[in-house]
Structure 1
Amino acid sequence: MGSAALHIARTGLDAQDTRMRVISNNLANVNTTGFKKDRASFETLAYQVVTAPGSSSTQETRYATGLNLGTGVRVQGTMRIETQGALQTTGNSLDMALDGDGYFQVQLPGGQLGYTRAGNFTRSPEGMVVTSEGYQLMPGITVPEGTTAITVGTDGTVSATVPGQTDATQIGQVQIASFANPAGLQALGDNYLMETGASGAANLGIAGQDGRGKIRQGMLEGSNVNVVAELVDMIETQRAYEVNSKMISATDEMLKYINNNL
């Protein structure tokens, strides 16, 4: 019985250690553009059924509650919280923030498509609109040489003004990807997410339509991490870890008592 209690307390230590890692990652990315915080979800391990509820206690009666012994806890998974981060004005014409749901689509190395909320785009030497790593925004948009001004509408319409023309010319359309289950996207690092079977296929469309967010030019979306809330969760996790540690110490002392006195 003592070894079982030690095992249960150990699962509690492992679970709280994982939760602390999630919180630590959230706090580390408090200033990351477009970052969405994660939340650890817990679940119980299998129960040992000693006496099943409703089983016969005598020939005429049945147990009302039974006896079930838990075997611990584990982290079921992490859930990405998709709440909107604060929009920050930058004044950069190729900075774009999504005010609402959806993702920008970029082409990663090897032809794989990635999705991101970080809209800090720039121009490549060839005039393509790319990320800071040089990954092309999809569908591709090429800015003409000599462009003096770039305008991005809330619907993603991109227009450029070039010398010798009084009116801006439309040069492309930023399309926004939406998913049936955004929480099912796989995080790749570098602010990129990847489509999975859980997320469903990407559905490209016009910003501001069918539930997609509008594009705000000259702005970036900040992280949605609330430092105060994360610190509260950190203290709670620390206390839970300490309680499980004390459980191990208490169980060890009980086992020592048995060994020394019985």
Structure 2
Amino acid sequence: MKALYIASTGMSAQERNVEVISNNIANMRTTGYKRQRAEFEDLLYQQITRAGAQSSAQGTNIPAGLEIGSGVRTVATPRVMSQGSVNMTDGELDVAVRGEGFFMVQLPDGRTAYTRDGSFQRSADGMLVNSNGYTINPGISIPGDANSVSISQDGIVSANIGTDSQPTQIGQLQLARFVNKAGLESLGDNMFIDTPASGPAQVGVPNTDGTGNLLQGYLEMSNVNSVTEIADLIAAQRAYEMNARVISGADQMMQSTSQLR
């Protein structure tokens, strides 16, 4: 009975849906996290009677065909790249992006990763790094005797060196934006890499070309909405239960048929 297999694809799809939702909920407090959503598509159809087929010798056509579907599958889990809320931290090297831009991170293997997590720190040699110790690209070196580091909305990094009363520019943060942000590949650790689907990074200075501006002393929080996720979770659970009932109903029908035989 095909209903058993069709319903099983529904249960599998909703199981994947619950996994996506649970990951969103788990990352509700992850800095710069972008929620995912599961997207589905129906599977191949068995054409028993094709629409428009000739139904009589007089040349009349069937107005609607007879076709049976094979179920459903999860086709994608795109990220929703909407702006998350911006919370004050008062951290001197904490920076939030208001706009579409991503910070660039130099990975140990030479690749460039992209992140919305602006919780930066100073390494032992004075370089501006992320929480994993990876250098922010372009590299910015903060002198050991620098104090009162400031980061402007357009990414200019300045500091008072030694006893200087006037700040000195020590670097310039840049941001990258993409034609299709949902096409970025997740690496974990709050980082992404570009793919053919995302297109190449378009690098620019903050406050230009739609990259967005920067806020020092703030961090962008996750864009996960707890109420939406709980509602989606309940809907996924009910869909799973309904598919399970279809399997139970098909089993009872098969049992009745076997008893008749």
Q: Distance in 2 between matches of 1:171 and 1:45?
A: 57
Show CA shifts across 1:133-159 (max 9, x none).
100000000001111111101000101
Cα offset, 1:23, TM superposition: 0.1
TM-score normalised by the chain length of structure 2: 0.98
Show CA shifts across 1:41-77 (max 9, x none).
0000011111111001111211000101111000011
Q: Distance in 1 between matches of 2:92 and 2:172?
A: 15
Show CA shifts across 1:190-230 (max 9, x none).
10101111111111101111111110001000000000110
Q: How many residues align?
A: 260
Cα offset, 1:164, TM superposition: 2.2
Question: What do you get for the CA RMSD once the two structures are aligned?
Answer: 0.7
Partner letter of residue 26 of structure 1? N
Aligned to 1:143: 142
**Does 2:236 correspond to 1:237?**
yes
**Regions of 4+ moved over 3 Å:** none
Q: Distance in 2 between matches of 1:156 and 1:68?
A: 59
Aligned to 2:41: 43
SS at match of 1:49: strand
Q: Distance in 2 between matches of 1:8 and 1:208?
A: 51
User: Percent identity over the alignment?
Assistant: 47
Cα offset, 1:165, TM superposition: 1.2
Q: Which ranges of structure 2 fall in alignment gaps of 5 or more residues?
A: none
Q: Distance in 2 between matches of 1:156 and 1:59?
A: 77
Matches within 5 A, 1:105-120: 105-120=104-119
**Does 2:246 correspond to 1:247?**
yes
SS at match of 1:228: helix
Q: Distance in 2 between matches of 1:8 and 1:83?
A: 35
Matches within 5 A, 1:182-193: 182-193=181-192
Matches within 5 A, 1:2-41: 2=1, 4-41=2-39
SS at match of 2:105: strand
SS at match of 1:155: coil
Q: Distance in 2 between matches of 1:91 and 1:185?
A: 30
Q: Which ranges of structure 1 fall in alignment gaps of 5 or more residues?
A: none
Q: Distance in 2 between matches of 1:258 and 1:164?
A: 92
